[in-house]
Amino acid sequence: MSASTTATVRHDWNLAEVKALFVQPFNDLLFQAQSVHRAHFDPNRVQVSTLLSIKTGACPEDCKYCPQSGHYNTGLEKEKLMEVQKVLEEAARAKAIGSTRFCMGAAWKHPSAKDMPYVLQMVAGVKAMGLETCMTLGRLDEDQTKALAQAGLDYYNHNLDTSPEFYGSIITTRTYSERLQTLAHVRDAGMKICSGGILGMGESLDDRAGLLIQLANLPEHPESVPINMLVKVAGTPLENAEDVDPFDFIRMLAVARILMPQSHVRLSAGREAMNEQMQALAFLAGANSIFYGDKLLTTANPQADKDMQLFARLGIAPEAREEHADEVHQAAIEQALVEQKSSDLFYDAASA
């Protein structure tokens, strides 16, 4: 299968085709993925997002990977929904360090009627700053989805997590069809979709392929596809799960890029455990989006200055916003990269 044919957007992938991509020699797979990537994106630009937990802990879902689930004792304290002004202050900080999208996550099965007005204020306030807006709030009904769209929400994150066949081994409190229905509501309301999954939960190669097939065979591909590596948290059922082989993780990114050539493939949770060489391979495989900052909801994330240093060493720059590129802000980001490259901190890191 040539790179030129896989650059075509398809919605009819089958298991045999996708498994054939996975088992290619590693170099052939990366070459194919990089060729597809270059057909649709600048290979040296990466979209940068910041993620904030606006309501932490005591989630009624039983997702076996999640420290926020109320079913497990992980030592995570329950917190109420953040005040709107505090969320807006965090969004301003995110913009100042170079993020173009601000993502807000709440540990809910679904948002309640009493919380929705505050959530809508957050969306409108972040949007007014010139940032793209993204939220993950659990299951949505049609009216909630329309309200979020009217408030200015650009993206809704709702991961499928794994294949339909393996899903019941990880989550029992929400069905796969409910997740797909929420994605349909989001698309019908005119918003963009952020949806991906997690590696390292004990899934098979068929399950990894099955997850990507579900995403790639949607009527429209998700605009953003986060690929997470399990962060093992003490107290969750998956705290002793087997580590993901780094090359297998890179293969997942590469196949996602081939199946969804116009989507942003996000290097997401688990990046704290990846060295710079693995992250560089991830970008070569077609990953072109990251979360930026010190925390990813409740787990660690590489610090922003380390990301800037790595970007400088690789010759990568943050991607400007698609709809309204702020040239002054973009220039400031690129100047920061230059300054990082010439700083003592940068050279210390490079020689380490």
Closest to 209 measured CA to CA, from 65, 64, 13, 7:
13
CB-CB contact of 304 with 325 (8 Å): no
Cα 241 to Cα 26, 93, 178: the distances in Å are: 25, 35, 27
β-pairing verdict for 197-199 and 224-229:
parallel
**What CA–CA distance (Å, rounded) separates 256 from 259?**
5
**What CA–CA distance (Å, rounded) separates 122 from 125?**
5
Report, as residue numbers or ranges, the catalytic residues: 59, 63, 66, 103, 134, 194, 266
Ligand-binding annotation for 271, yes or no, is no
Ligand-binding annotation for 103, yes or no, is yes
Ligand-binding annotation for 266, yes or no, is yes
Ligand-binding annotation for 66, yes or no, is yes
**What CA–CA distance (Å, rounded) separates 200 from 170?**
12
Ligand-binding annotation for 257, yes or no, is no
DSSP codes, 26-60? HHHHHHHHHHHHHHHS-TTEEEEEEEEEEE-S-BS
Which amino acid makes up residue 40?
H
β-strand partners of 265: 225, 287
Who's near 346: CB < 8 A, 6+ residues apart?
Answer: 309, 312, 313, 340
Q: What is the dihedral of CA 109, 145, 263, 15, to 10 degrees?
A: 60
Strand spans (E) along the chain: 45-55, 101-106, 132-136, 155-157, 192-194, 197-199, 224-229, 264-267, 287-291, 295-296, 299-300, 317-318
Annotated binding site: 59, 63, 66, 103, 134, 194, 266
Annotated binding site for [2Fe-2S] cluster: 103, 134, 194, 266
Annotated binding site for [4Fe-4S] cluster: 59, 63, 66
